[in-house]
Every structure is written in C-alpha cells, then in structure tokens.
Amino acid sequence: MRDAGMNELAESAGGAGLIAFHVLASIPLRRWRTTWGATPAEVEETLPGDENVPHPAWAYTHAIDVDATPDRVWPWLIQIGQQRAGFYSYRGLENMVGCNITSATGLDPRFQTLAVGDSVLLHPQSPPLTVTMVDDGRAFVLLGADPDSADRALWSFHLRALHI
C-alpha cells in the first residue's frame, strides 16, 4: 500500500509540474497547448455539440491516437466523471482540490450508460455537466451552463477508427 501511495504522490507532483509549465508557457505555447495532438483539420472541424456554444471565448481541441478500436475505448470513456469512474488523470492532485475522485482500474457495469439529460460531475461542489447528445460507441457531449449568465462550457468526446 505504501508503494501505491508513493506512486500517487509522484504522479500528482508530476501533474502539478505539468500544470505549472503550461501556465508559465501559456503565451508562447498557446497554440500547441490548445490544440495538443490535433491536426489542423481536426481543429477547424465542426463537431456535434458545437452549436451549444457557437461563439466560445476560448477553446481547446485535443486529440490522441489509441492502439485500440473505438468499441474497446468506449466503455472506458463513457464511465468518466466524479462519483463515477474518475478521469484517468492525476487523482492525488484532483483530490487535493476536493474532487473526491476514485479512479477506476477496470470497467464498471454501473457506469456503462449515459443518456441525454444525465448529469456528470467534475467536482462535488460545482454544477454538473448535462449530457446533451449520445451516439453510442462513437461520441457524447456534455454541456455546463450557468443559469444566471450566458456562460457555457462544452466537453465533447468523439471516437474514430484510424484508417492506416
């Protein structure tokens, strides 16, 4: 158990270091930071859910290639969220700011479905994101909206098979 705690501490310290680097490097590296892993075409692409925030004040488009088919990735992706399977991130760092995250190490049948209208929490004290679109096995969209303002946040996840 001690080794697991040390690993989590090391991962959290590494994550904090990366965040500090991103903050310090944000101006000269902004384009790289906001489009990490994405091709120019992916950055310019209009995706389902974009209509919910037609004129964003800022945006990130990140992409990653995974050596697995979308049907193998989907069960892991669909279970993200606080009070679900976590975020596959720096759990120790997230918990230092009160997220109360438990990261999954396997698939949990309780978290294998999302439906339009469901809520996904990022933090126990923040408003939930609402599921606005689910295309099973391919994509889902989460929208956070402050009912007292025009502020909106959009998270959308899209899986595509690589054509190599």
| pLDDT, tens digit, 9 for 90 and up, residues 87-117 | 777 667 676 777 777 778 899 999 999 999 9
Residue 83 lies in a domain: yes
Q: Tell me if 122 is assigned to some domain.
A: yes
Residue 103 falls inside a structural domain = yes
116-143 average pLDDT score: 91
Residue 135's closest CA among 71, 56, 61, 51? 71
* Residue at 32 is within a domain: yes
Q: Which domain holds residue 37?
A: 2-158
Q: Quick one: what percent of the chain has pLDDT higher than 90?
A: 34
Closest by CA to 61, choosing from 44, 73, 49, 74, is 44
Residue 21 included in any domain = yes
Other residues' Cβ atoms within 10 Å of the Cβ of residue 68: 13
Q: Examine residue 136 and state whether it is found in any structural domain, yes or no.
A: yes
In a domain, 164, yes or no: no
Total domains in the chain come to 1
pLDDT at 36: 85
- pLDDT attached to residue 111: 92
DSSP the chain: -HHHHHHHHHHHHHHHHHHHHHHHTTTTTHHHHHTTT--HHHHH---TTGGGSSS-SS--------SS-HHHHHHHHTT-BBTTTB-SS-HHHHHHTT------SS--GGGS---TT-EEBSSTTSPPEEEEEEETTTEEEEEEE-TTSS-EEEEEEE------
Could you tell me the pLDDT band of residue 131, with boundaries at 50, 70 and 90?
Answer: very high
- Of the CA atoms within 13 Å of residue 20, those in its CB half-sphere come to 7
Q: 163 in a domain, yes or no? A: no
pLDDT of residue 151: 76
Distance CA 132, CA 119 (A): 10
